[in-house]
Structure 1
C-alpha cells in the first residue's frame, strides 16, 4: 500500500484548519506522497466528531429529546427516546456525511489537478460506526428499535458517497470508539458481548466495495486529550483486528490504534506479534505526540519494532480538539519522524 513512499502516515480524520481546501493543500505540501489518503479535516460543524449528529436527532420524526447528561466527550450528552405516539415515517433524515464528502471531493480533485496533492493519493472519508451516536444519544429503552433505523441511514449515506466518487480514488475509514469503551467495561450498554459488537463492524466492512480502500480507526477517545481508559496493552485491539481479518470477506487495508505517550515499553506492543497480517493489512501506530516530539516517538518506534515491523505512524486520534496554529508544526513532526524511521531502517 505504500508504493515505495517510505514510512506511511495516516491522518485519522479531523484537522482544524479553515476548510477542506486548506486541509488538502497544507497536508499535500508538507507530507506529500507519505500520506496515501487525505481526509477533508471534518471542518466546521463536524469538528467535534459526532456531536453534530444531535441536530439530526432533533429532526428525526420518531425521536424526542429527553434531557442533557454530562459525560465523557460526546458520550451521552443529549439523550433521545422514541416518541410513544409516533405513527409516521421511521426513517432518519439525511445524516450529512454524504453531502459533506461529495462537496469536499470537488475541492480534492481541483487541488489534485493543480498538482498540490501527490499523484495516486486517495480521498479519505471517516465515518463513525452507527453504534457510536446510538450509544451516545439514544436512551437504552429505545436503543433496540432506533439503532437499525440509523444503520439504514448510514448505509444510504455511504451509498451516495460510492455513487458520486470514483472507487479507485476513495478510502473509507470506520471510526470505532464506543465499541472499545463497552468492551473495556467503561460505559454500560444495551449490547456488550464481543461477537455482537465485532459483528456490527463486519457488516460495515461488507458495505465497502473491494475497489475502495477500507480501514478501521480503533479509538480509546480523545476528549480533553485523555482516553476514556488507557489500554493496558494492545491485546484487545489485536483480538478485534484478528476477528475482522478472519470474518470480513475482503482485504482490510489498514488499522489504526492508539499508543499512549508513556508506553515506550515492548510489553505494550507484544500482542501485535499475534496479529494476522497475511492479507497485506497495514498497521498505523498512533505514537506521534506533540509533547515529546521526535525522540519520544522514536522510543515508541523502537519498542514496537520488537514485535511488529513495516508499520505506519499517526497521532492517537483526530486533531479536531487542537488549536489551528498547532497543525502545521504537528504535520512537520510527522514528516521528521517518518524520515528518521526510514533512515534507521536503511
Structure 2
C-alpha cells in the first residue's frame, strides 16, 4: 500500500437545497475544515445542469426551437435549438446566458456569510461552468453545431469576463464541467442517431477545447476541472471500463493548457472498489500542486462503500487525494444531502 492520504473534500456543484444561502451555510457547518471552495448549489433554473440554456438560446433572434411541442422540465422547455432558415450563425447575437448574473448574486450571499464568520476566511467561492462543447453538442441541432460553436464560446467567455471583473480574484474559483467530452470519447451517439462531434481527432479536439477554457481564467483565480460520465437519474451514460480514458484526457488537457490546474476531479462508479479500475491513475501526469479529488462517495453505501474504494485507490496512487461524489447531487432524493456531507467528513482529514 502507498503512503497516500485522504485529505480534504470537494463539492462538484449542484446540491439538493432550495437556495444558495442554505447550501453555503450547511456546507460550511458540515464540511468547513475539509473544503477549500463552496459553490452555490446551482439552484433555480440551473437545477439540471445546462438544460436551462435551451430557453436562453431560444430567445435569440435568428434561433428557433426544434419541434413544435415544448418538452417541459419543471420551469424549463428543454427542446434543442437550430438556426432559422437563411440565418448565418455569425449574425446571431445571444442574450445573457445567466451564468454571470447567478454568480454575482450568489457571491453577494457568500461574501455576507464570510463576513459574518459562517464561512471560513480562506474559503473561496466556486463557480461551475459548462464547456462550450457540452452546450453545443447537447442543445444545438447537429447540422448547425460547427457554425454555432464559436458564437456560443464567445458568449460564455463574456459571462466569465463579467464574473472575474466583479468577484475578487483571490476569492474566486472557476470549475469547468466536462461531460459531453466523454460521450464523444466513448463513441456514443445522440438519441437521434447523430454523432455529437463535428470534428475529426476527438482526443486532440476535445482536450484542446477544454485547455482553451482553462487558459481564459486569470492566474489569480483558481481553476479546476470536473470530468464526468453524466448523471441522468443518478446513472452514467456509459460505465467506464476503468480510469484509462479519464487519465488520458486529464493528461492531454494538462499538457495543452498554458496554466496549471488548481484541482482535478474524477468520477468513480459505485460498483468499482477494485484496483483494476484505479490502475491507470498510476500514469496520471498533472503537477504535484494540482489537488486530486476522487468521486468515490455514494449515498447508497455511505462510509462503508467509500472506505472500500479509498482502500483500492491507495493501492495505486502515490499522491494524496480528496473525496467527492462522482457528480453533483442536486437531483438526489430529498433528505440525502446532509448524510452525504457526513460521509465526506467521516472518511477525509481536514486540510
Q: Normalized against structure 2, the TM-score is what?
A: 0.90
Structure 1 residues 139-218: aligned runs within 5 Å? 139-187=141-189, 188-189=195-196, 190-191=198-199, 193-218=202-227
Q: Which of residues 272, 275, 280 is equivalent to 1:271?
A: 280
Say which SS state the counterpart of residue 175 (structure 2) adopts.
strand
* Residue 329 of structure 1 pairs with residue 339 of structure 2: yes
1:106 aligns to what? Answer: 108
Structure 1 residues without counterparts, runs of 5 or longer: 71-75
Q: How many residue pairs get matched?
A: 332
Deviates more, 1:225-234 or 1:192-201: 192-201
Q: Deviations over 1:191-233 (max 9, x none)?
A: 3521111111011011001111111100001101110001001
Contact 1:69 1:78 in 2 (8 A): yes
Task: Report the RMSD for the aligned CA atoms in angstroms.
Answer: 2.0
Structure 2 residues without counterparts, runs of 5 or longer: 72-76, 190-194
Contact 2:6 2:323 in 1 (8 A): no
Contact 1:287 1:297 in 2 (8 A): yes
Q: Distance in 1 between matches of 2:341 and 2:83?
A: 44
Q: Distance in 2 between matches of 1:304 and 1:145?
A: 42
Higher relative contact order (CA 8 A, sep 6+): 2
1:310 aligns to what? Answer: 320
Say which SS state the counterpart of residue 216 (structure 1) adopts.
strand
Q: Distance in 2 between matches of 1:117 and 1:79?
A: 39
Contact 2:39 2:125 in 1 (8 A): yes
Q: Deviations over 1:146-196 (max 9, x none)?
A: 111000000000000000000010000000000100100122222352111
Q: Normalized against structure 1, the TM-score is what?
A: 0.92
2:234 aligns to what? Answer: 225
Say which SS state the counterpart of residue 8 (structure 1) adopts.
strand
1:73 aligns to what? Answer: none
Q: Which stretches of structure 1, 4 residues or more, deviate above 3 A after TM superposition?
A: 85-89
Contact 1:33 1:121 in 2 (8 A): no
1:44 aligns to what? Answer: 44
Say which SS state the counterpart of residue 47 (structure 1) adopts.
helix
2:66 aligns to what? Answer: 66
Contact 1:46 1:52 in 2 (8 A): yes
Deviates more, 1:153-162 or 1:240-249: 240-249
Q: Distance in 2 between matches of 1:198 and 1:77?
A: 27
2:25 aligns to what? Answer: 25
Contact 1:69 1:79 in 2 (8 A): no
Q: Deviations over 1:301-339 (max 9, x none)?
A: 010011113001000100111134211121111111214
Say which SS state the counterpart of residue 296 (structure 2) adopts.
strand
